Amino acid sequence: MRINIALSCVECKRKNYASQKNKKNTTAKLELSKYCPFCGKHTTHRESK
């Protein structure tokens, strides 16, 4: 039931991280604060395809 997702930076729109989530338990888009190497700071990363 787990699916692979990509996390992209909200500011620069680049896909920096890959993760998994359980679609049955987490129906909303995942948002995490992660380090963006392109921006050089911690930014919000949102689930993308």
Name the class of domain 2-48: mainly beta
Say what the pLDDT of residue 49 is. 81
- Determine what percent of the chain is predicted with pLDDT higher than 70: 100
**Token reading at 34:** 């992660």
Q: Which residue numbers in the chain have pLDDT < 70?
A: none
Say what the pLDDT of residue 37 is. 96
The distance of Cα 25 from the centroid of its chain, to the nearest Å, equals 17
What's this model's pTM, rounded to 2 decimal places?
0.86
Query: Rounded CA gap, 20 and 2, in Å?
Result: 6
- Can you list the pairs that 31-36 forms with residues at least 24 positions away whose Cβ atoms lie under 8 Å? 32/7, 34/7, 36/9, 36/11, 36/12
The count of other CB atoms within 10 Å of the CB of residue 1 is 7
